Structure 1
């Protein structure tokens, strides 16, 4: 996640050598709200810069694609197979830390089996504490997750991109982003324990995880963007996006949807944050600007209906700053066509008959490295990594810099941490 500095005189010019640090984690609402409450009056904005603090921010349309929450009844187990198509989601993730070389074999994570018949999760902090920090994916300050929701057939997955500027305050930004994703995983697996609703929505899941992060003493502070979804077996998808991570819905060799980033200003995304107590005390004693802190309720919500053979891509800005939606569509289309998952018929793109075999749907609940979803995730991450290091190919971020700061002469990609989650939609055969 990159940063640009703002001063009291105005936004500082972006250095051609500046790069964003990336991170993702869970946040908690601090009780000292009088100190950390986001400032609402008009004024200067802090971008993703080495400075973590921000004077008042400008008003902005916070929801680029509003949708009414609660359009669906989630987690129903009473569907009629003959009248309602049922879908499953086959997921893989690929990643790369900014400072590491990309390794297609090592930088891959496929869906692990989850046994919902085990003892129910009732303590989210105990669940998160049971996750070995040393076993986290080597994805730098970016993080990702995917999980079955309780004992239902619904699935949730997403990414979080940590704010690297917290390093200057002596914090590891990865603790926040990875912690956020770990709490979302635990909360999804524990559902409906502690819930008074009949459905789980992604913004609610983000809110629970953020609350847990803020009370978790092992996570001193930090910040993160987030983009996540709840995918239902009836083909309904609800997506919550806060910041400039994002989501693409691809189907039939076309882009069906691409999220619009939430930003306060150029290179200044919406972000969750947790301010360390020691810093709150310093601000209370000496004054100064507050930290930039948005809330889960400000996430943009969209609803989508998927079809057999569709592809869902969730990624941090290490991907979207280097690859356009057309670039990503081209990568996915090549992989799908080459393997027969999408086939051309009289000028139209159709889903191939071997899709279930390609995603290993019938062999086990854990797909292997040769599965189609794994190939797609690796292909996207690899292309984003190579483009970020290419000084001659202008990616989306370079083009935005050229518009906002024409005097900077910025060219090439933007090296950053990368995390991408790919889900392939399969229509299941009637039982």
Structure 2
């Protein structure tokens, strides 16, 4: 996807919907042939300078849009059945042949199956894109608490006369060195690291039932499943900041 965007003419970059970007990249991987077999979910966003955000989500990765201590939008996972997410796949010919021989079918979804949504981002919004290792272990409310705590402690969100407001320091906090730490030296990196840490801790906590545990209990009450779910955890955080030149 990075190569496709980089090599596209400027005029085309502005009109690359995320589903199209995903489709072209998937076609390239299949044609290349270097990947013999595998599968992946996907969550891709394309933002414009006017604040328009297009998102294509396929499977149980996803994103959440937070605005001033509130959940503004949360993507719903796509699954064929419980714990069976949609995913792009490259299935080896031998596996396909064996599946057909046994009378079965191989699940394989396409970029066209992604759930496409349009959103309007606003100055101060926090956008979180993550794999299911986050969503299976942290609820929307828990994520909101993590982000609100860091945004407030960093004075990115402040209490004003009309409630919670975006501070005038937000732009500086999102620049390299905006946070006085050796590694997490931008606000968005600090948020991502905090979410990863909380999700990892919850995943190995056998006494804390996360969203996945609650779903197992709902679908399979006899399983006696409790605790977190150890899984891959990947987080990308974007903070929406108004262009300094546009400020009045």
Hey, what does 2:119 align to over in structure 1?
A: 304
Cα deviations across residues 66-109 of structure 1 (Å, max 9, x unaligned)?
xxxxxxxxxxxxxxxxxxxxxxxxxxxxxxxxxxxxxxxxxxxx
| TM-score after normalising by structure 2 | 0.92
Would the alpha carbon gap of residues 313 and 267 (structure 1) be closer, same or farther in structure 2, given more than 3 Å must change?
same
Hey, what does 1:356 align to over in structure 2?
A: 171
Query: Larger % of helix: which?
Result: 2
Answering whether residue 1 of structure 2 is matched by residue 187 of structure 1, we say no
Answering whether residue 27 of structure 2 is matched by residue 211 of structure 1, we say yes
Would the alpha carbon gap of residues 207 and 335 (structure 1) be closer, same or farther in structure 2, given more than 3 Å must change?
same
Whole-angstrom CA distance in 2 between matches of 1:378 and 1:198: 31
Cα deviations across residues 8-36 of structure 1 (Å, max 9, x unaligned)?
xxxxxxxxxxxxxxxxxxxxxxxxxxxxx
Whole-angstrom CA distance in 2 between matches of 1:227 and 1:217: 23
Whole-angstrom CA distance in 2 between matches of 1:362 and 1:391: 37
Q: How does 1:319-338 map to 2 (within 5 A)?
A: 319-338=134-153
Whole-angstrom CA distance in 2 between matches of 1:260 and 1:192: 33
Unaligned runs of 5+ in 2: none
**How far has the Cα of 1:199 moved from its partner?**
0.6
Hey, what does 2:104 align to over in structure 1?
A: 289
Answering whether residue 57 of structure 2 is matched by residue 241 of structure 1, we say yes
Choose the corresponding residue for 1:340, options 117, 132, 155: 155
| 3-state DSSP of counterpart to 1:188 | helix
Whole-angstrom CA distance in 2 between matches of 1:287 and 1:410: 32
Hey, what does 1:388 align to over in structure 2?
A: 203
Q: How does 1:93-172 map to 2 (within 5 A)?
A: none
**How far has the Cα of 1:278 moved from its partner?**
3.0
Whole-angstrom CA distance in 1 between matches of 2:218 and 2:161: 42
Hey, what does 1:267 align to over in structure 2?
A: 83
Whole-angstrom CA distance in 2 between matches of 1:361 and 1:369: 9
Hey, what does 1:408 align to over in structure 2?
A: 223
- Root-mean-square deviation (Å): 2.1
- Alignment length, in residue pairs? 243
Hey, what does 1:280 align to over in structure 2?
A: 96
| 3-state DSSP of counterpart to 1:375 | helix
Whole-angstrom CA distance in 1 between matches of 2:39 and 2:198: 27
Whole-angstrom CA distance in 2 between matches of 1:407 and 1:238: 41
Whole-angstrom CA distance in 1 between matches of 2:196 and 2:177: 27
Is the contact made by 2:86 and 2:109 (CA closer than 8 Å) also made in structure 1?
yes
**How far has the Cα of 1:362 moved from its partner?**
9.6
| 3-state DSSP of counterpart to 1:238 | strand
Whole-angstrom CA distance in 2 between matches of 1:350 and 1:222: 45
Whole-angstrom CA distance in 1 between matches of 2:106 and 2:237: 33
Runs of 4+ in 1 over 3 A off after TM superposition: 195-198, 280-284
Would the alpha carbon gap of residues 207 and 371 (structure 1) be closer, same or farther in structure 2, given more than 3 Å must change?
same
**How far has the Cα of 1:185 moved from its partner?**
1.5
Would the alpha carbon gap of residues 362 and 190 (structure 1) be closer, same or farther in structure 2, given more than 3 Å must change?
farther
Answering whether residue 71 of structure 2 is matched by residue 255 of structure 1, we say yes
**How far has the Cα of 1:277 moved from its partner?**
2.6
**How far has the Cα of 1:345 moved from its partner?**
1.2
Is the contact made by 2:88 and 2:111 (CA closer than 8 Å) also made in structure 1?
yes
| 3-state DSSP of counterpart to 1:279 | helix
Would the alpha carbon gap of residues 239 and 334 (structure 1) be closer, same or farther in structure 2, given more than 3 Å must change?
same
| TM-score after normalising by structure 1 | 0.54
Is the contact made by 2:99 and 2:106 (CA closer than 8 Å) also made in structure 1?
no
Would the alpha carbon gap of residues 358 and 196 (structure 1) be closer, same or farther in structure 2, given more than 3 Å must change?
closer
Whole-angstrom CA distance in 1 between matches of 2:191 and 2:174: 11
Whole-angstrom CA distance in 2 between matches of 1:406 and 1:264: 20
Cα deviations across residues 225-256 of structure 1 (Å, max 9, x unaligned)?
11110011110000001111110001111100
